[in-house]
């Protein structure tokens, strides 16, 4: 604080502009009759959400800025993790806050729902910005013909959405960062090759185990074969780059081959000192996405409780639309099923002394 601001008389209400803030709750139901009691709660809950969206965007913007340099500094990575963790905590709050709104009964909501006209959370500009900054692109959206997602925004708001869509999202930043992971190819060490060898020997081992099983019925044998096929198909995705690229082309994966390989490497060897922070970073990004899906799910259930299967005021199918977005709007869906590609610790390839040395922190004593 500089001398001028320190000597300025600071008053709580002025600093927080409470005069303005507390004047902004005007129930529509009150303009014609006695206001519906719960409309005040409805307004305040939405306003508080918008304030938290503002904070999330503020933190997310700083994360994207910190990730802009190539390569990003380690110090920068610590701050990125701290800010993503804060966003996580805020979204947890947003989920819990729906409990407060649910103290309003569906009949209480019906007392003022008709005053809302075509207004809807669908028109939350900040929520759209936030989704886009995380990495949701307009072609991934569930847009029932009746309600293109940006239909109700002003031209200035639409311009901002378009500009945000062309800017770099958290998803692309994470992908770029993963692609730069060192250690995957290190001297004579190639993680791609040792991973493939480990997968091949794991599948051989599993096949032998199945063949050695005695006393199985035909049905049980078939089940075991199916399981082996599943295993081979799942691990084959990463063990064979051509298969992976085909899945990418078909839209069944979204992260590039290189970044997925790096994510598996970081997850598999997260005990190595140098990988602690990258591991925390990946998990923080993943958790933000997972918690946002949880909010979508929780919001959809609340909507079902409040309005059943009626359509939304914004023109969508209501619950049916919202529940679809839970899975389809996951940004890091490839990370969510990363475990499918992990090899058990006892089968993990040895990294060799050179790579192990590079992954550790060492003091030179001489
Ligand atoms: C009684 C409470 C609520 C009801 C009945 C409700 C209902 C709905 C419905 C039906 C939709 C789908 C769009 C439409 O056709 O209108 C929607 C979307 C949305 N609502 Fe709510 N909502 C409620 C509370 C909230 C709250 C507290 C927030 C917090 C800001 C919120 C934020 C959103 C957002 C961001 C969307 C867009 C979701 C998307 O398109 O992915 N809603 N809401």
**Which residue matches tokens 């409470």?**
18
The confidence score (pLDDT) of residue 32 equals: 67
With a cut of 60, say whether residue 6 has pLDDT above it: no
The pLDDT tens digits of the residues spanning 251-284 come to: 889 999 999 999 999 999 999 888 999 999 999 9
The pLDDT tens digits of the residues spanning 325-342 come to: 999 999 999 888 899 899
Phi, psi of 7 (to 5 degrees): -85, -15
190, β-bridge pairs:
185
Contact indicator for 135, 331 with CB cutoff of 8 Å: yes
With a cut of 60, say whether residue 310 has pLDDT above it: yes
Residue to mutate (ligand 1; options 108, 109, 122, 313; most atoms within 8 A of CB): 122
Contact indicator for 170, 285 with CB cutoff of 8 Å: yes
With a cut of 80, say whether residue 143 has pLDDT above it: no
Query: Atom 26 (ligand 1): residue with closest C-alpha?
Result: 46
The confidence score (pLDDT) of residue 144 equals: 58
Q: Within the chain, where are the H helices?
A: 3-7, 12-15, 18-21, 39-66, 74-101, 106-110, 125-134, 155-166, 170-179, 191-212, 218-239, 241-249, 257-268, 276-307, 319-328, 333-336, 352-359
The confidence score (pLDDT) of residue 96 equals: 98
**Which residue matches tokens 């901002």?**
160
Q: How far is CA 184 from CA 195, 277, 360, in A?
A: 11, 17, 15
Of the pLDDT bands very low, low, confident and very high (cuts 50, 70, 90), residue 2 is low
Going from the Cα of 303 to the center of ligand 1, the distance in angstroms, rounded, reads 7
Query: Atom 37 (ligand 1): residue with closest C-alpha?
Result: 122
The confidence score (pLDDT) of residue 223 equals: 92
Shortest-distance atom of ligand 1 to CA 109: 1
Contact indicator for 311, 317 with CB cutoff of 8 Å: yes
Q: In this predicted structure, which of 137-151, 211-225, 300-314 has the lowest mean pLDDT?
A: 137-151
* Position with higher pLDDT, 236 vs 25: 25
The confidence score (pLDDT) of residue 365 equals: 54
Residue 313 near ligand 1, beta carbon < 6 Å: yes
What whole-number percentage of the chain has pLDDT above 90?
A: 68
The confidence score (pLDDT) of residue 159 equals: 95
The pLDDT tens digits of the residues spanning 58-109 come to: 999 999 999 998 878 778 999 999 999 999 999 999 999 999 999 999 999 9
189, β-bridge pairs:
186
Q: How far is CA 275 from CA 36, 139, 266, in A?
A: 55, 34, 6
Shortest-distance atom of ligand 1 to CA 127: 35
With a cut of 70, say whether residue 245 has pLDDT above it: yes
Going from the Cα of 55 to the center of ligand 1, the distance in angstroms, rounded, reads 19
Query: Does a cis peptide bond (omega within 30 degrees of 0) precede residue 348?
Result: no
185, β-bridge pairs:
190
With a cut of 90, say whether residue 16 has pLDDT above it: yes
Q: What is the pTM of this model?
A: 0.91
**Which residue matches tokens 């600071």?**
10
Contact indicator for 143, 149 with CB cutoff of 8 Å: yes
With a cut of 70, say whether residue 38 has pLDDT above it: yes
Average pLDDT, the chain: 90
Query: Atom 35 (ligand 1): residue with closest C-alpha?
Result: 121
């Amino acid at each position: 604080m500089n001398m001028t601001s320190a000597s300025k008389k600071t008053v709580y209400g002025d600093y927080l502009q409470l005069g303005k803030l507390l004047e902004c709750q005007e129930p529509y139901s009150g303009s014609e009759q006695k206001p519906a009691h719960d409309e005040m709660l409805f307004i305040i809950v939405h306003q508080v959400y918008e304030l938290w969206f503002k904070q999330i965007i503020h933190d997310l913007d700083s994360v994207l800025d910190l990730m802009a340099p190539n390569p990003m500094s380690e110090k920068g990575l610590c701050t990125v993790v701290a800010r993503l963790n804060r966003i996580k905590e805020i979204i947890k709050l947003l989920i819990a806050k729906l409990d407060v709104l649910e103290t309003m009964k569906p009949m209480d909501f019906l007392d003022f729902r008709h005053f809302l006209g075509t207004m809807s959370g669908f028109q939350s500009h900040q929520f759209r910005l936030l989704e886009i900054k995380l990495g949701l692109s307009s072609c991934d959206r569930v847009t029932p013909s009746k309600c293109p997602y940006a239909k109700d925004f002003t031209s200035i708001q639409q311009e901002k959405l378009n500009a945000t869509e062309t800017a770099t999202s958290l998803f692309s930043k994470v992908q770029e960062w993963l692609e730069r992971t060192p250690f995957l190819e290190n001297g004579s060490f190639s993680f791609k090759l040792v991973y493939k060898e480990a997968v091949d020997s794991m599948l051989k081992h599993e096949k032998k185990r199945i063949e050695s099983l005695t006393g199985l019925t035909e049905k049980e044998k078939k089940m075991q074969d199916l399981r082996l096929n599943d295993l081979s198909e799942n691990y084959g995705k990463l063990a064979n780059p051509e298969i992976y690229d085909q899945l990418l082309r078909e839209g069944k994966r979204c992260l590039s081959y290189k970044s997925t390989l790096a994510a598996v490497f970081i997850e598999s060897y997260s005990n190595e000192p140098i990988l602690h922070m990258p591991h925390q970073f990946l998990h923080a990004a993943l958790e933000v996405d997972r918690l946002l899906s949880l909010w979508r799910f929780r919001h959809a259930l609340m909507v079902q409780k409040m309005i059943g299967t009626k359509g939304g005021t914004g023109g969508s199918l209501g619950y049916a639309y919202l529940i679809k977005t839970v899975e389809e709007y996951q940004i890091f869906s490839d990370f969510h099923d990363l475990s499918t590609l992990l090899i058990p610790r006892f089968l993990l390839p040895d990294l060799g002394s050179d790579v192990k040395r590079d992954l550790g922190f060492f003091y030179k004593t001489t």
